Amino acid sequence: MDNILILKIAFIGASITLLFIGLYAVLTKRNLIKIVLGLSIMDNGLNLLFITMGFVKHGTAPIFSPLVMEKLKTVDAAAQVMVDPVVQALVLTAIVIGFGVTAVALALVLRLYRHHNTTNIDEIRNLKW
């Protein structure tokens, strides 16, 4: 088999698996912290999927450093061999947003724990779930 095909299956497979293992944890786990952990695993899988989709074979990082410019002389030639920078910018945004959501979620977990003295979702049912 071709190297690139193996890479494709490995990257997409790993990211989709992470995504759905996270989703499984969110759907079935009863522990609040485990649920937040599941969310964070989901985010990770999704970010890998984004970066995977921007990859170009033999591509270089999208930075016009002096080293790259020396090798390829012109900007246009260098731009030809670079990976897609847009997905990287999007993932930067997504990682930081994911961190913010995780922090707020954990703060809520802590407050629920102080209030109910448990982190089990079955024992916190003042509202209907």
Q: Is 58 among the residues that bind another protein (CB under 8 A)?
A: yes
Q: Is 73 among the residues that bind another protein (CB under 8 A)?
A: no
Applying CB under 8 A, which of residues 46, 72, 73, 77 lies at the interface with another protein? 46
Minimum distance, C-beta of residue 122 to another protein, in the bound complex (Å): 10
Distance CA 19, CA 26 (A): 11
Minimum distance, C-beta of residue 120 to another protein, in the bound complex (Å): 7
* Angle at 13 (CA atoms; ends 92, 63), nearest 5 degrees: 35
Of 71 and 105, CB closest to another protein: 105
Q: Give how far Cα 3 sits from Cα of 12, 16, 22, Å.
A: 14, 20, 28
Minimum distance, C-beta of residue 28 to another protein, in the bound complex (Å): 5
Count of residues engaged in binding another protein, rule: CB under 8 A: 108
Distance CA 43, CA 52 (A): 14
Minimum distance, C-beta of residue 125 to another protein, in the bound complex (Å): 8
Q: Give how far Cα 112 sits from Cα of 40, 70, 100, Å.
A: 19, 58, 19
Q: Is 72 among the residues that bind another protein (CB under 8 A)?
A: no
Q: How far is CA 123 from the centre of its chain?
A: 31
Whether the CB-CB separation of 62 and 91 falls below 8 Å is answered with: no
The site string for another protein over 79-118 (x = CB under 8 A, - otherwise) reads x--xxxxxxxxxxxxxxxx-xxxxxxxxxxxxxxxxx-xx
